[in-house]
Amino acid sequence: MLDQNFEQVLEANKEKIYRICKIYAINPIEPQDLFQEVVFQIWKSLSSFKGNSTIDTWIYRIALNVCMRSKLKFEKSNDKKVRLEAIAFKVADTSIDESEQEKFRFLKQCITTLNESDTLIIVLYLEELSYKEIATVTGLSENHIAVKMKRIRKRLFDCINPKLN
């Protein structure tokens, strides 16, 4: 049996993990592959969760560390990839709003124009984390995040507004 805590953690966080993976997955890596790796790493690390931060913060750290590591081509060999057959991705039953999908494509395009550090901050911001929480995830100070956010937000809006209007 799976640990009860892990089940709950996974159920509560799977969507946010997947959103992050969608941003960091670059061909040939699929978001699903990244998602599986993040889930595997969360399971491996669960015993080291001491409760010093919230579980959300802790999950974001693992997800972003795994995604950034993958982007840095840190894991070079494919044989180290974990395959979790238990996780399946099915097209949602509800009809997919194509305009929403297009908007997301624009958003992704704009996010990918940002540098690595700005990307991870904006991702956390879009996940509705407070500056304090972003600071906890990144290891930077709250003030530092606030200053950076001002500039990143402007850059993101400058990019996306012409696309959506």
Minimal distance, residue 131 CB to another protein, in Å: 13
Q: At 144, which helix (H) or strand (E)? A: helix 142-164
Minimal distance, residue 26 CB to another protein, in Å: 14
Q: Are 3 and 45 in contact (CB under 8 A)?
A: no
Using the rule CB under 8 A, which residue among 9, 25, 34, 156 binds another protein? 156
Q: Is 21 helix (H, G, I), strand (E, B) or coil?
A: helix
Q: Does 7 bind another protein (CB under 8 A)?
A: yes
Question: What is the footprint of another protein within residues 43-82 (CB under 8 A)?
Answer: 43-45, 48-49, 58, 61-62, 64-66, 68-69, 72-74, 79-80, 82
Structure tokens at 22: 């969608």
Q: Which is nearer to another protein, 1 or 28 (CB)?
A: 1
Cα–Cα distance for residue pair 17/7, rounded to 1 Å: 14
Question: What is the footprint of another protein within residues 75-104 (CB under 8 A)?
Answer: 79-80, 82-94, 96-97, 100-101, 103-104
Q: In whole angstroms, how large is the CA radius of gyration of the chain?
A: 17
DSSP structural state of residue 94? S
Q: Does 118 bind another protein (CB under 8 A)?
A: yes
Minimal distance, residue 48 CB to another protein, in Å: 6
Cα–Cα distance for residue pair 100/106, rounded to 1 Å: 10
Minimal distance, residue 28 CB to another protein, in Å: 18
- Residue 73's identity, in one-letter code, is K
